[in-house]
Amino acid sequence: MAALTLQQMKELSTLLAARYRTLLADAKVNLAHAGDDDHLEPLGRVLDGGEAAVAEAMASLHDAGAERAMAEMRAIIDAGNRLRHGSFGTCCDCGESVPFARLRQLPTTERCIDCQRVHERDFGPGPAPTL
């Protein structure tokens, strides 16, 4: 089981922090516009049934995006905690090292690729990562 080097841990920590800052900045922008109902009444006119359905679908997509962003922020916080406590880069299922290349692609991962396949087979793939 190859441990991560200090340089690798710093690189992954930097990736996690940068992604967290991006998500936080996006959340601040979205909160600033949270009360905007511009999508409900384009050009100041009342929407017909079809337009209202599209507007509602857009609002639902926005809500789903916010939920995904919050889940990703929680995953980043969890990964940071694993970094601090020395369990980062160790598969939570089998205890083997997660390859650095996988961690670089998805620093929030908790599993090696083999255990992730089993997990997705048993529980589904979950949300698509954006990092």
Angle at 39 between CA 33 and CA 41, to 5 degrees: 125
pLDDT digits (tens, 9 = 90+) for 81-100: 999 999 999 999 999 999 99
Q: Using the predicted structure, report yes or no on whether residue 43 has a pLDDT greater than 50.
A: no
pLDDT value at 39 more than 60: no
Q: What percentage of the chain has pLDDT greater than the value 70?
A: 71
Is the per-residue pLDDT at 32 higher than 80?
A: no
Are the CB atoms for 68 and 130 separated by under 8 Å?
yes
d(CA 92, CA 87): 9
Find residue 97's DSSP bridge partners.
90
pLDDT surpasses 60 at 46: no
Between 29-33, 64-68, 101-105, 121-125, the lowest mean confidence (pLDDT) is in 29-33
